[in-house]
Amino acid sequence: NAGVTQTPKFRILKIGQSMTLQCTQDMNHNYMYWYRQDPGMGLKLIYYSVGAGITDKGEVPNGYNVSRSTTEDFPLRLELAAPSQTSVYFCASRLSGDQPQHFGDGTRLSIL
C-alpha cells in the first residue's frame, strides 16, 4: 500500500518557468490537499479538493493551479515560477471528516 506518492522529490527551476507537481493516492480518499512549508513555519494550505471534479482555494493560492479529474490524482501547477515559491510542497489526503490526514514525503522546490 503506497499511500500518498509525490513526484519529483527535488526540483530547481528558473524564474518564469512552469512545472507540475504530481500527487497520487491509492487509498480511495475523497479529500486531497496541497500545502507549502517554509522554514520555521507551519503548513499553509494552497488548494484542496473534496472529490473528483471539485477544487477550492486555500489560504495561499496565488501563483498556483490545480485539477482533480480522478479520485487518485491531484496535480499542482506553477505557471510562472517566482523566488517566493521556493518551498517544500506536501500533498495530503483523507477519507472523510473524522479521519486523520495522510501525507506524502514532499517536493523540495527551489526557484533561482
- Binding residues for other proteins (CB under 8 A): 4, 33, 35, 40-45, 48, 58, 90, 92, 97-98, 100-106
Nearer to other proteins, 58 or 63 (CB): 58
Least CB distance to other proteins at residue 5 (A) = 11
Least CB distance to other proteins at residue 107 (A) = 10
Nearest to residue 73, comparing CAs of 35, 28, 40?
A: 28
Nearer to other proteins, 19 or 43 (CB): 43
Least CB distance to other proteins at residue 71 (A) = 18
State how beta strands 43-51 and 19-25 pair.
Answer: unpaired
Give the DSSP letter of residue 112: -
Nearer to other proteins, 35 or 111 (CB): 35
- Answer for the pair 32, 104: CB distance below 8 angstroms, yes or no: no
Nearer to other proteins, 81 or 90 (CB): 90
Nearest to residue 23, comparing CAs of 42, 43, 46, 39?
A: 46
Euclidean distance between CA atoms 90 and 9, whole angstroms: 10
